[in-house]
Amino acid sequence: MEIIKNSAIDAWKSALKMIKEHGRKVIDHDNRLSQELLNISIIINNPAEDITKPIDAMKELKKWVYPELEELEDVMFKKEASSFYYYTYGARIFNYANTKNQIDDFIIPLLKKDPNTRRAVVMIYHPVSDSKINIKESPGMLSIMFKIVDKKLNLTVVIRSNDMFIGWPANIYQIYLLQKYVTESIGIETGSITTISHSAHVFQEYDEEVEAILRKK
């Protein structure tokens, strides 16, 4: 299933609507009921236009203390592992296995050397630490691919488990920040962002809030 929109807010609302209308009901390991669709591809042609709008909409509900933009940026860029979280994206991206800065030491130099490369891939999932039966927490985002097309940098992100209501607004903002970081380093413009969500789901306890989001114009 594919959704193509120019803005993040339109893409998000379309995904929520699609899941609510067509998703199958699933009870997960925490005994939470959700509606789920497999393999939703969401393409945002111009993410810079309104990348924080989904987060703004979440905050307007005034039901949760949604993370501030600075906190979300910190999770994406801080290189040190956190004692509070099982993992952080920044530690996986900028200090993978405590050895590799995948952005500054690989992605940026590679794209500068070969703008047509198909090798610009960042890995987040780590089989040695994450592929264990008894571990309940592992990264939702698995990999990020970078591709320059018509002198613009496009990103494709593979997500294994995607809470489309709570999680996607934060994730798409963090992905855009990474996209912008790389484009500013190599001197080109940002292009599209695509998220491919293997399990795109919405939990039943958020039904009222999801409907409120969908009603907003």
Work out the widest C-alpha separation in the chain, in whole angstroms. 50
In the CATH hierarchy, which fold is given to the domain comprising 2-215? Thymidylate Synthase; Chain A (3.30.572)
What are the helix and strand counts (H, E) for the chain? 8, 7
User: Residue ranges of the domains in the chain?
Assistant: 2-215
Using 50, 70 and 90 to split pLDDT, how confident is the model at 82? Answer: low
188, burial (CB in 10 Å: exposed 0-12, middle 13-18, buried 19+): middle
Q: How far apart are CA 121 and CA 124, in angstroms?
A: 10
Q: How many residues make up the chain in this entry?
A: 217
**b/e burial code for range 71-84 (CB count within 10 A of at least 16 → b):** ebbebbbbeeeeee
133-159 pLDDT, tens digit each = 887 778 899 999 999 999 999 999 999
Q: How far apart are CA 174 and CA 36, in angstroms?
A: 23
Q: What is the pLDDT of residue 63?
A: 83
Other C-beta atoms closer than 10 Å to the C-beta of 63 total 12
pLDDT tens, residue by residue, 89-104: 999 999 998 899 999 9
Phi, psi dihedral angles at 110 (to 5 degrees):
-65, -45
